[in-house]
C-alpha cells in the first residue's frame, strides 16, 4: 500500500479534477487501504481468487478516473481480490469506480460485487448486481444485523460503458444493543439507499472482497454469466463522525 502522505496528495488532486466536491485532508488521512493498481498488479491486496486462470487482470483498458491501470474481472465463475486491512473496523466508507461493461444477467441472476466480512468469515454487507435491461444494471445494498437476517435497503442503476462512482458507508451501532447503526449507498453522487437504524452493534469489519464474489441464479443454479467488468480507484476510509 502506498504511504498515506502520497495518497493524500493523489486523492485530493483526483477529486478536484473530477469535480466531486471538497474532501478534507483529515478525511483522506483516515485512509485504511488503496488498491495499488497503478503498480500494474494486485500486490497491494492480501489475496486473490480466480476460478479460471487469468480472470483477474490489471490493465490499461480497465483504467478510470484518469488513472493508468484498473482491474478487469473477466470470468466464467468466481474471481475476487481481498484486503484484510480493516482491523475490526466499526465505521467504514468504501469508494470505487465501476463499469459493468459486458455483464449479461438473465432474470433472477445476480452477482455480489462487494462484501464486508467479520468474525468467522460471516459477511454482513453485500452489494449485489442484477440485470435491468439492455445496457443497464441495478446495484442493491443488503445489510445484516445482530440477528443474522439480511435486509435490502435500496438500489440504483449503473450504466454499462460508463465510469460509475460507487460509494458505500457502513457504521456499527454505538453499543451491542443499540439500533443506531447505519448503511448507505451513493451512485454517481446520488443517494440511492439509506438505513439509519440498524441493530448491528455486535459486528465489525475484518476483510473486504471485491469483484465477482458470488454468483446466484434461482432459475438455473449452474448459470454462469458473461462477466467483463472494470474496477478502479478503490479506497477504504475511516470516515469522520457524523
In a domain, 10, yes or no: yes
C-beta of residue 116 within 8 angstroms of C-beta of residue 92:
yes
Under 8 Å CB-to-CB from 226, ≥6 apart: which residues? 102, 103, 104
Convert the pLDDT of each residue in 85-116 to its tens digit: 998 999 999 999 999 876 667 667 788 999 99
Rounded distance between C-alpha atoms, residue 77 and residue 88, angstroms: 29
Amino acid 101: pLDDT:
79
Percent of all residues in the chain with a pLDDT value above 90, rounded to a whole number: 61
Any domain includes 205: yes
Radius of gyration of the chain (CA): 17
Q: How many CA atoms lie within 13 A of 64 on its CB side?
A: 22
Question: What is the percent of the chain where pLDDT is above 70?
Answer: 78
* Buried residues in 41-77 as b, exposed as e (16+ CB within 10 A): ebebbeebbbeeeebbbbeeebbbbebebbbbbbbee
Three cell numbers written together for 126: 453485500
Q: What is the pLDDT of residue 18?
A: 40
pTM of the model: 0.84
Q: Which helix (H) or strand (E) holds 143?
A: strand 136-144
What is residue 170's predicted lDDT score, i.e. its pLDDT?
97
Q: How many structural domains comprise the chain?
A: 1
**Bridge partners for 128 per DSSP:** 112, 140
Secondary structure, 3-state, 87-139: CCECEEEEEEEEECCCCECCCCEEEEEEEEECHHHCEEEEEEEEECCCCEEEE
| Residue 215: per-residue pLDDT | 76
Q: How far apart are CA 196 and CA 173, in angstroms?
A: 10
Q: Dihedral of the CA atoms 67, 63, 33, 187 (nearest 10)?
A: 110
Alpha helices in the chain (DSSP H): 4-18, 25-28
Higher pLDDT, 236 or 51: 236
> Per the domain annotation, does 242 fall within a domain?
no
- Residue range 222-241: average pLDDT? 79
Residue listed under C-alpha cell 470505487: 96
Per-residue confidence (pLDDT) for residue 179, from 0 to 100: 96
Looking at residue 242, its pLDDT comes to 57
Q: What pLDDT score was predicted for residue 74?
A: 75
Domain span including residue 144: 4-237
CATH number for the domain spanning 86: value is: 2.60.120.200
75/60 Cα distance (integer angstroms) = 18
Give a yes or no: residue 216 inside a domain. yes
Beta bridge partners of residue 129, listed in sequence order: 111, 139
Tell me: the pLDDT tens digits for 148-204? 899 999 999 888 889 999 999 999 999 999 999 999 999 999 999 999 999 999 999
Amino acid at each position: 500500500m502506498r504511504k498515506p502522505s502520497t495518497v493524500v496528495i493523489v486523492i485530493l488532486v483526483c477529486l478536484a479534477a473530477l469535480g466531486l466536491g471538497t474532501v478534507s485532508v483529515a478525511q483522506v488521512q483516515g485512509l485504511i487501504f488503496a488498491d495499488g493498481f497503478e503498480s500494474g498488479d494486485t500486490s497491494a491486496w492480501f489475496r486473490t481468487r480466480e476460478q479460471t486462470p487469468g480472470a483477474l487482470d490489471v490493465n490499461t483498458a480497465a483504467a478510470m478516473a484518469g488513472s493508468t491501470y484498473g482491474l478487469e474481472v473477466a470470468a466464467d465463475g468466481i474471481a475476487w481480490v481481498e484486503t484484510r486491512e480493516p482491523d475490526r473496523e466499526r465505521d467504514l466508507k468504501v469508494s470505487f469506480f465501476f463499469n459493468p461493461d459486458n455483464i449479461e444477467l438473465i432474470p433472477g441472476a445476480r452477482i455480489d460485487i462487494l462484501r464486508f466480512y467479520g468474525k468467522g468469515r460471516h459477511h454482513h454487507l453485500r452489494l449485489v448486481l442484477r440485470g435491468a435491461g439492455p445496457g443497464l444494471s441495478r446495484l442493491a445494498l443488503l445489510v445484516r444485523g445482530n440477528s443474522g437476517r439480511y435486509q435490502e435497503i435500496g438500489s440504483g442503476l449503473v450504466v454499462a460503458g460508463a465510469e460509475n462512482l460507487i460509494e458505500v458507508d457502513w457504521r456499527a451501532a454505538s453499543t451491542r444493543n443499540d439500533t443506531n447503526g447505519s448503511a448507505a449507498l451513493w451512485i454517481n453522487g446520488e443517494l440511492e439507499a439509506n438505513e439509519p437504524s440498524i441493530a448491528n452493534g455486535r459486528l465489525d469489519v475484518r476483510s473486504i472482497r471485491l469483484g465477482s464474489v458470488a454468483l446466484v441464479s434461482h432459475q438455473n443454479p449452474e448459470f454462469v454469466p458473461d462477466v467483463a467488468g472494470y474496477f478502479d480507484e478503490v479506497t477504504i476510509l475511516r470516515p469522520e463522525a457524523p
